[in-house]
Amino acid sequence: MQRQPIFFLGFGGVGRALLTQILDAREQHRKRNGLKLDVLGIADSAGALVSEKPLGDAALRKALQTKIDTGRLPGPAATRANMRTLIAALPRNAIVVDTSASSATVPALIQAKRRGCGVVLANKIPLAGDLAWWNAIADARARWETTCGSAMPVIATLNTLLDSGDTVHRIEGTLSGTLGYVASQLEAGVKFGDAVRDAKMRGYTEPDPRQDLGGLDVGRKALILARMLGYRLDMQDVKVESLYPKHMDKLSVDDFMRDVDSLNETMAARVAELTADGHKLRYAAVIENGKLKAGFVGADPVSKLGMSRTSDSVVIFHTRFFMDNPLTVSGRGAGQDVTASGVLGDVVSLSRVMGNKLA
């Protein structure tokens, strides 16, 4: 039986779903992989639970409930100083799992990699930030499947294409369920302000919808894929179309939600332009010839992008071997449970590498 030590950075919705899935899959991991995932600690900005020995399942379930009930873990919040101590105490074959959404974890991730640990990321920021972060983190002892499409095998597919010697000419994809929903509403003739309010009411957006409407999240995903292709690019190299003007960043959320109707006319004209001749409105990322962009496009209705359901995420790979019929990965590209399942798959995959290292 392989005992794989893991350490959590972040214990929000995805982190809690991940821990639940680890506990529920104990028997499956034992039978299928001869594996037991030993949780040595959980740390986030509101508390920590750390042990020199693997935490028992009862203690982990209690921590889950405590976090749900109080929003905190029992120990002191993670800081840069105490994180250095915690990472330094980990076995060298440990896997550090980052389910946060912050750049604050980067020093701990780099320290863990230098120590010889593995890293699994649901957090896009370390991979889409400074190139030095990418260079320090993104290697054979790292996995980041869920940074580009939740549990969809986008990263695994691209790695397979590159490992096979194929040449990737173009990647295009819809990588935001929120913007996919807004696009479908606009295409159906709904006014932009109404579409945004409806998406927020349904819980499809962040509490501040501008975090979705700005397109930055899609831009980060495009940058991660481009860096995998070998392009030495930064976020300023990504042309991102925001669905609202920059001056509206100064507004409160309530004021923005009230004033979003002022964009109705401009957006209607843009939609009409892009959907002329029956084209389909999509908010898509496109990577081609070292250039990256994310924004609204009018997709040919018989193309794979145009035929995709707006409720799905889809990534289309145009390559030397997949030119006439591009390789397509599509499915549910968001949600805490499905994202956690992708993280767990990465942990199990990486454990096969880390199991060959001495603790």
> According to the 3-state scheme, what is the secondary structure of the chain?
CEEEEEEEECCCHHHHHHHHHHHHCHHHHHHHHCEEEEEEEEEECCEEEECCCCCCHHHHHHHHHHHHHHCCCCECCCCHHHHHHHHHCCCCCCEEEECCCCHHHHHHHHHHHHHCCEEEECCCHHHHCCHHHHHHHCCCCEECHHHCCCCCCHHHHHHHHHHCCCCEEEEEEECCHHHHHHHHHHHCCCCHHHHHHHHHHCCCCCCCCHHHHCCHHHHHHHHHHHHHCCCCCCHHHEEECCCCCHHHHHCCHHHHHHHHHHHHHHHHHHHHHHCHHHCEEEEEEEEECCEEEEEEEEECCCCHHHHCCCCCEEEEEEECCCCCCCEEEEECCCCHHHHHHHHHHHHHHHHHHHCCCCC
> Are both 200 and 268 inside the same structural domain?
yes
> Are both 134 and 188 inside the same structural domain?
no
Domain that residue 19 falls in: 2-151+337-354
> Are both 136 and 14 inside the same structural domain?
yes
> Are both 161 and 308 inside the same structural domain?
yes
User: Could you tell me the mean pLDDT of each successive run of 10 residues in the chain, 359 residues long?
Assistant: 95 95 97 96 91 94 93 81 88 96 94 97 97 97 95 96 97 93 95 96 91 96 97 97 97 97 97 95 96 96 89 92 95 86 97 72
> Are both 175 and 319 inside the same structural domain?
yes
> Are both 138 and 261 inside the same structural domain?
no
Domain for residue 359, yes or no? no
> Are both 137 and 32 inside the same structural domain?
yes
297-314 pLDDT tens trace? 999 999 999 998 877 889
> Are both 14 and 90 inside the same structural domain?
yes
Given this model, what pLDDT does residue 60 score?
A: 96
CATH number at residue 147: 3.40.50.720
pTM over 0.85: yes
Give the strand pairing for 291-299 and 327-331: unpaired
51-85 pLDDT tens trace? 889 999 999 999 999 999 999 988 777 777 788 88
76-89 pLDDT tens trace? 777 777 888 899 99
Distances (CA, A) of 237 to 124, 240, 293, 341: 17, 9, 9, 32
Q: Residues 233, 292: contact at Cβ < 8 Å?
A: yes
> Are both 116 and 243 inside the same structural domain?
no
> Are both 136 and 279 inside the same structural domain?
no
> Are both 8 and 38 inside the same structural domain?
yes
Counted domains in the chain = 2
Structure tokens that stand for 161 in this block: 């294409």
User: Distance of alpha carbon 193 from its chain centroid, rounded?
Assistant: 27
> Are both 163 and 147 inside the same structural domain?
no
